[in-house]
Structure 1
């Protein structure tokens, strides 16, 4: 019998999308012949996930799992928003988030190699892909730690279309959740304007200067205009300066301060952000018609 190496198993998995153990068994069954192993998996119906590997998975769910002083926020993608309502997919997302918290991998690649019994996390995703019939993938995650004096706040919008995880010091979990809700709705880039880099400020100032000059404003008032517009820009991207969604009469910074707290960090995942979606999405077409 041929010696089936880890490299051979990986090559077969890359070619077929099959799970690790399925790939290993196929290679053993055909005495290590790669082409015969591919045929073996195809005949067994275990290579069907490979047909989906080129598809765009820009839908799905994000989830937050908190365990004591550690929390994980993760995004798992699918091809259509219909899958987000699938119980198997929802449970898969929850299981992935818990598995990441328990094992604390550094990268997505490391996470996919986490083993539970004889099956890796990658195998679980492949198996779910075969059952559900869509390309599924773990896109990203973040592991966040806090101290005993801090609290986590989490919020899922539309069941996980947007997920937010916050860390606050000196406030309670309800306040932290309220801040997470605000972040989900408004999507600030920073906690405070002090976090904005000098490079970003200079770039924005240059753009605003060109705008003012193109408007034909006198040079002596351009500088005052720029300062006013720059201040508006900073207030729009800095969470502490934004009107609080639950009480627009006060800023988020004032709201948190009134609760005796300080926002230490936040992570916001919006499913599919940054992924170019295909235009010819039948599911989107159907949903748009239903809404009319």
Structure 2
């Protein structure tokens, strides 16, 4: 009998150990004196608290402190927490992140070594006029200037979002502004145009404040055989003004390339195929066809290459941009050339949502 009692006790210990090994969340520590509840562990397959916070922030647009507070108050139930945020007026009924943001502003900052562009999108141009939104664009522009210079022309959006500001991480600042303006806003892209010893001028179309507008462009001027830094300060200022005028031309005429050597090879091949097919359809001799193709190709270059376009600032003589810039530099004793440019238009390439306002009004009225 003693042997059987020992065997039964041993079996209980083994069963208890096996249960804990297979289901470790069942193991609980003794309650401390005065404790009112037992904290149970969650299944490892479920989302972590950090994941729940991230998901609810994206869904609601609320700040991280408010999101965490609502989740804790609802025992980390994301649906109940979302409703709690709505009751407190901290989340919109719709998911803002799903709405198209194609309006907004382009921010421009210029330093001694280059020009920085950031594009911040909103759903409406009304928000683009909001002081909080414009202040956000200014903060992002400042962060772009303070980032390490990239090897290419594009800035890392993720690095910009992770930048530290006096008000916290940039991504949190963006979320707070989105909550304040009640719209989906997003940092879409950023660029850098290095001057590399040249002088840059900028132009901002539909400017709402200094360094912000709907379309922005920067043009870099250089000279052959003479460093522009060696010129008098007054002459450097005039070169910068000239670059700003050419930037205005770029905004208006939308060139695709700087010059012939920068034309994309595949685009050039495609254009030549079209021009040759058109010329051959005329039935003229091969030598005439070649002349026709070359003539039309030169016309193509005049349309897509900045330096070969007719300068919109020269109504009298109809000079090309290249000739216009060279003529402007003669009084200063330098042969100027356009070394580079960058044009950024807010919302460019975004598929805008077509709204049926009549249907929207009917839906609102319940008709």
TM-score of Structure 1 vs Structure 2, range by shorter chain: 0.7 to 0.9
2-structure distance, mates of 1:7, 1:60: 30
User: Any residues of structure 2 matched to 1:101-116 within 5 Å, and which?
Assistant: 101-104=145-148, 106-116=155-165
- Equivalent residue for 1:229, pick from 268, 287, 296: 296
Measured against aligned partners, the alpha-carbon deviations of 1:23-46 in whole angstroms (never above 9, x if no partner) come to 344444555444443333333322
| Residue in structure 1 matched with residue 203 of structure 2 by the alignment | 155
> Which SS does the other structure have where 2:95 is aligned?
helix
Contact 1:108 1:139 in 2 (8 A): yes
Contact 1:18 1:50 in 2 (8 A): no
| Residue in structure 2 matched with residue 257 of structure 1 by the alignment | 326
User: Any residues of structure 2 matched to 1:123-162 within 5 Å, and which?
Assistant: 123-147=172-196, 149-159=197-207, 160-162=213-215
- Equivalent residue for 1:71, pick from 107, 111, 115: 115
Task: Classify 1:120/1:129 alpha carbon distance in 2 versus 1 (closer, same or farther; 3 Å).
Answer: same
Contact 1:63 1:97 in 2 (8 A): yes
| Residue in structure 1 matched with residue 270 of structure 2 by the alignment | 203
| Residue in structure 2 matched with residue 287 of structure 1 by the alignment | none
| TM-score, normalised relative to structure 1 | 0.84
Contact 2:59 2:96 in 1 (8 A): no
Task: Classify 1:178/1:257 alpha carbon distance in 2 versus 1 (closer, same or farther; 3 Å).
Answer: same
Q: Which moved more, 1:216-225 or 1:236-245?
A: 216-225
| Residue in structure 1 matched with residue 8 of structure 2 by the alignment | none
Bigger Rg over Cα: 2
**Structure 1: 5+ residue runs without aligned partners?**
283-292
> Which SS does the other structure have where 1:278 is aligned?
coil
| TM-score, normalised relative to structure 2 | 0.68
Deviation at 1:186, TM superposition (A): 0.7
User: Any residues of structure 2 matched to 1:113-124 within 5 Å, and which?
Assistant: 113-117=162-166, 119-124=168-173
Ranked by relative contact order (alpha carbons within 8 Å, sequence separation 6 or more), the top structure is 1
RMSD: 2.7
Measured against aligned partners, the alpha-carbon deviations of 1:44-102 in whole angstroms (never above 9, x if no partner) come to 32222863222211122212111332431111112222333333322322222122222
Structure in which a larger fraction of residues adopt strand:
1
| Residue in structure 2 matched with residue 166 of structure 1 by the alignment | 219
1-structure distance, mates of 2:61, 2:252: 37
| Residue in structure 1 matched with residue 284 of structure 2 by the alignment | 218
| Residue in structure 2 matched with residue 59 of structure 1 by the alignment | 103
- Equivalent residue for 1:18, pick from 62, 71, 87: 62
Contact 1:20 1:119 in 2 (8 A): no
